[in-house]
Amino acid sequence: MTFPATESESPAPLRSKARARFKVALKLVLSALVLFAVARHAAKTWGDLRSKGESVHIAAGPFVGAVVIYVVGLVPFGLFYGRVMAASPTPIGPYAAIRAYLISHLGKYVPGKALVVVMRIALSSPFGARPATSAFASMYETLLMMAVGGLLSAVAFGWRAAVTLPLPIFGVISVPLPMVGLTLGLLFLIVVDPRVFPRLAGLARVPFPGVGPDALPTFTYRLLLQGAICSTLGWTLLGLSQVAVLSAILPEGLPVSAWPTAIASVALATVAGFVVPISPGGLGVREWVLWTALASVIDRDHAVVAALVLRLAWVAGELITAAVLLAIRPAPRSAIL
């Protein structure tokens, strides 16, 4: 004789509870991983700064200004992520998109850079975003950001075309920085072309079984133009955060005539750090390109310190912003405006 399973013995509720516990455990592990990576990143930066000796003095006011300018500079990129999602069947509101974008930046400090997309999906899904759509929107926003960063640096460096970067190609050759930026910018621009990206996205659907063309946002040249405008504004502000850092470590600051070089340096250095996949948050690569470029307008020692202090300012801005935005979680229905 058999008896019907009671509710407590039913496998369905047990599986549901197990999934819920697994999700909680996974979130805790990922959170610990991110915090560890960020802490290690900040510790290394601080150690590098201390190795410069007693000569390093950072003025609090300009440093705080650099942090604020950086966070504000990230908002246009987050806004464009929201614009890409708005061109999809599962749009989310501007605040939800910007919030997901800003918090997920902490994931870049974990080697591999994939955790940024994972975090952005997790932060966007509660507000109606389809996970696959959020992933494709994240990839498109990032690639367009890099395209504009490379091209913007090429234009801004045009004022100082003699600045070169030693690259380990056929031994070591010195390549003009405008050429490096132009090459990277054009390569990324080809990838984000509305006729090209959907085809490439079709090759990336393996991790998303059952996902078809309906998961992709509608990519148009109008959307690309909107992204170029948002990215140009964002890169300009990120470059100005470097200007603020220079004001924090140099009594005379940076002459206005050299601001385009600072903006170009930050853009190209960040793009270069992104291109090297094994570098968490571009650590090492970004600093090297940044201080090499800045050394064309200030002495090399100050350029090295400026690159390290910028890294410290950006990590501080990301941590503070993530902490605030995690505490200010909109209701799902209020996220779609």
Asked whether residue 4 is assigned to any structural domain, the reply reads no
What pLDDT was estimated at residue 115?
A: 83
Beta strand extents in 94-205 (DSSP E only): 164-167, 173-176
What pLDDT was estimated at residue 322?
A: 92
Asked whether residue 78 is assigned to any structural domain, the reply reads yes
Residues in the chain where the model's pLDDT stays below 70 = 1-56, 112-113, 159-162, 166-173, 204-213, 277-284, 332-337
- What's this model's pTM, rounded to 2 decimal places? 0.81
pLDDT per position as a tens digit, 199-249: 888 776 555 555 666 788 999 999 999 999 999 999 999 999 999 999 999
What pLDDT was estimated at residue 230?
A: 97
Asked whether residue 109 is assigned to any structural domain, the reply reads yes
Asked whether residue 5 is assigned to any structural domain, the reply reads no
What pLDDT was estimated at residue 281?
A: 52
The single-letter DSSP state of residue 173 is E
The count of structural domains within the chain is: 1
What pLDDT was estimated at residue 24?
A: 47
d(CA 78, CA 190): 22
CB within 8 Å of 201: residues ≥ 6 apart? 136, 139, 216
Which amino acid is located at 293 in the chain?
A
Question: Do the beta carbons of residue 180 and residue 170 sit within 8 Å?
Answer: no
Asked whether residue 55 is assigned to any structural domain, the reply reads yes
Asked whether residue 269 is assigned to any structural domain, the reply reads yes
Asked whether residue 148 is assigned to any structural domain, the reply reads yes
Question: Do the beta carbons of residue 104 and residue 123 sit within 8 Å?
Answer: yes
Asked whether residue 6 is assigned to any structural domain, the reply reads no
Structure tokens at 6: 């009671």
Could you list the residue range(s) of the whole structural domain that residue 189 is in? Answer: 13-335
Q: Return the bridge partners of 176, or none.
A: 164
What pLDDT was estimated at residue 334?
A: 43
What pLDDT was estimated at residue 183?
A: 92
